[in-house]
């Protein structure tokens, strides 16, 4: 395992070297949906692509709590590594494994049986609801495998290894690219084939991650031994995991409400929005990678009580974010149309997608700033505070502003409302980072 100690050495160099594999992993993770979208859109048409867009939104909302608990992995194990507490690392490893397994099974089953109600809740157009239900139910079957290899990846990153998780995601991405046309056309499974291809790819990545860990005893992680979690461990995990999980639900539920608004404009706008969202998600990946990297780096230094380095990590992260986001603003103003046309070809859908991207791009630096500052605060374990900031961002700003802008400008107001919320919410993040009490947070006795 490639380990890194973030409590010493050059912060700019270590942040760059550590965040790049995370960025590539995130790009590949996004490519799983991107590749599926390309195959579905080109082989099955815009209606099938719109069905996948709606189904994917529901999937991430229901798995958001699990992903939030998994995000707590990074903070817990990075702080324990910074404090060099091997016994606690071993004990928490067992506790997280049990909790995430149970949550994955429960939410996967619930999502499978309540798919129709969830689609109706999102105001899904009747023309795509049957296809969306079929795709979604298959995806819920594989939720355990998706959670599994993401957990192992987060664990390795907490120890400073961002390269190995890249291999797990690479395997899943290659398999998705190969299996999609085979299952969709070769086996004549249609949209169900796209879902089965994704599930099989994620399952193989999970198996590979388990094989990797089992073949490397003593590579930086303590020997794994399943044991009943201690009360103090459950309390710590819940203190971090519950607000982090709710935070993810808040984020994705807010996105689902936005999609509900978009669905009201019909199939063409839904398809254009889906194409723009996939590109939008890719553009934001560098900021997400930097946020994840500063989370791990800050947590190790907080565990080692090196606060001067924490401040330095914040400054370097902000500078990197501005450089990358400004680059993407220029890129999207030039290439928005041909990029949207990679997914869809109908004139109205493309026009909406291009307009959305060129508007939202102006606000990318502000959402990137949120990722950096919230990542540092998350490294201290101040999850309830991050939850409060996200509630403000999504429910007090983004959803009302999007609704307001839509009422004024129609479909063109969607991107404008979301973008303005990015700007205002970044001011809240800066204020809390500067004057909030996150530095006094203490996870372990």
Which tens digit of pLDDT belongs to each residue from 402-441? Answer: 999 999 998 889 999 999 999 999 999 999 999 998 998 8
Average pLDDT over residues 14-33: 87
Does 316 reside within a domain?
yes
Name the token pair of 63. 């798995």
pLDDT for res 223: 62
Instruction: State CA 364 to chain mean position distance.
Output: 16
Burial class (CB in 10 A: 0-12, 13-18, 19+), 341: middle
pLDDT digits (tens, 9 = 90+) for 169-217: 999 999 999 999 999 999 999 999 999 999 999 999 999 988 887 766 5
Asked if the structure places residue 445 within a domain, the reply is no
- pLDDT at residue 36 greater than cutoff 60: yes
Distance of alpha carbon 325 from alpha carbon 372, whole angstroms: 12
pLDDT at 2 over 80: no
Any domain includes 4:
no
Summarize pLDDT for 360-369 with one digit per residue, the tens: 999 999 999 9
Residue 29's pLDDT band, with cuts at 50, 70 and 90, is confident
Structural domain contains residue 2? no
Specify the pTM.
0.80
CB 57 within 8 A of CB 252: yes
C-alpha closest to that of 321 among 376, 374, 368:
368
**Domain limits for position 292:** 11-440
Closest C-alpha among 146, 137, 164, 138 to residue 202: 146
HEC profile for 92-132?
HHHHHHHHHHHHHHHHHHHHHHCHHHHHHHCCCCHHHHHHH
Q: Is pLDDT of 387 > 60?
A: yes
List phi, psi (to 5°) of 125. -55, 140
Judge whether 367 lies within some domain.
yes
C-alpha Rg value of the chain to the nearest Å:
21
Phi, psi dihedral angles at 123 (to 5 degrees): 60, 40
By CB atoms closer than 10 A (0-12, 13-18, 19+), residue 297 is buried
Compute the average pLDDT of residues 368-374: 94
What does the alpha-carbon distance between residue 52 and residue 44 come to, in Å, rounded to a whole number?
11
The 10s digit of each residue's pLDDT in 287-309 is 999 999 999 999 999 988 999 99
What mean pLDDT do residues 98-113 have? 89
Residues ≥6 apart with Cβ < 8 Å to 188: none
Nearest residue to 340 via CA among 353, 327, 331, 328 = 353
Q: Is the pLDDT of residue 346 over 90?
A: no
DSSP-derived 3-state class of residue 254: helix
Average pLDDT over residues 248-258: 79
Asked if residues 295 and 75 have their Cβ atoms less than 8 Å apart, the reply is: yes
Chain position carrying tokens 């946020």: 291
If one counts the domains in the chain, the total is 1
Residue 137 burial (C-beta neighbours within 10 Å; 0-12, 13-18, 19+)? middle
Mean predicted lDDT score pLDDT of the chain: 87
Domain annotation covers residue 6: no
């Amino acid at each position: 395992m490639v380990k890194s100690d973030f409590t010493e050495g050059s912060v700019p160099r270590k942040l760059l070297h550590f965040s790049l594999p995370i960025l590539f992993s995130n790009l590949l993770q996004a490519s799983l949906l991107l590749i599926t979208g390309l195959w579905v859109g080109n082989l099955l048409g815009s209606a099938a692509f719109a069905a996948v867009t709606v189904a994917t939104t529901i999937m991430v909302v229901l798995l958001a709590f699990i992903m939030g608990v998994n995000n707590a992995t990074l903070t817990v194990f990075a702080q324990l590594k910074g404090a060099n507490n091997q016994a606690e690392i071993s004990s928490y490893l067992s506790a997280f494994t049990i909790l995430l397994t149970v949550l994955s099974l429960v939410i996967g089953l619930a999502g499978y049986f309540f798919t129709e109600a969830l689609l109706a809740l999102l105001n899904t157009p009747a023309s795509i609801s049957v296809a969306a239900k079929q795709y979604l139910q298959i995806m819920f079957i594989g939720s355990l495998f998706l959670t599994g290899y993401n957990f192992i990846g987060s664990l390795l990153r907490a120890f400073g290894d961002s390269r190995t998780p890249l291999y797990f995601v690479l395997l899943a991405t290659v398999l998705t690219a190969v299996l999609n046309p085979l299952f969709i056309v070769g086996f004549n499974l249609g949209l169900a084939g796209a879902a089965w291809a994704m599930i099989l790819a994620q399952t193989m990545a999970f198996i590979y991650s388990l094989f990797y860990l089992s073949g490397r005893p003593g590579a930086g992680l303590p020997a794994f031994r399943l044991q009943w979690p201690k009360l103090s461990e459950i309390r710590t995990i819940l203190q971090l995991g519950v607000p982090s999980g709710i935070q993810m639900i808040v984020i994705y539920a807010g996105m689902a409400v936005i999609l509900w608004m978009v669905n009201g404009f019909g199939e063409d706008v839904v398809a254009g929005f889906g194409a723009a969202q996939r590109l939008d998600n890719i553009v934001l990946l560098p900021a997400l990678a930097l946020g994840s990297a500063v989370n791990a780096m800050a947590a190790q230094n907080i565990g080692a009580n090196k606060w001067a380095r924490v401040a330095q990590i914040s400054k370097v992260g902000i500078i990197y974010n501005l450089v990358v986001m400004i680059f993407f603003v220029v890129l999207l103003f030039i290439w928005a149309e041909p990029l949207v046309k990679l997914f869809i070809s109908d004139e109205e859908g493309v026009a909406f997608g291009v307009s959305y991207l060129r508007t939202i791009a102006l606000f990318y630096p502000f959402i990137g700033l949120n990722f950096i500052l919230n990542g540092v605060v998350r490294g201290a374990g101040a999850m309830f505070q991050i939850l409060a900031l996200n509630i403000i961002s999504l429910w007090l700003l983004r959803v009302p502003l999007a609704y307001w802008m839509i009422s004024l400008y129609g479909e063109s107001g969607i991107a404008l409302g979301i973008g303005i919320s990015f700007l205002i919410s970044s001011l809240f993040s800066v204020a809390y980072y500067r004057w909030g009490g996150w530095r006094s947070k203490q996870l372990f006795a």
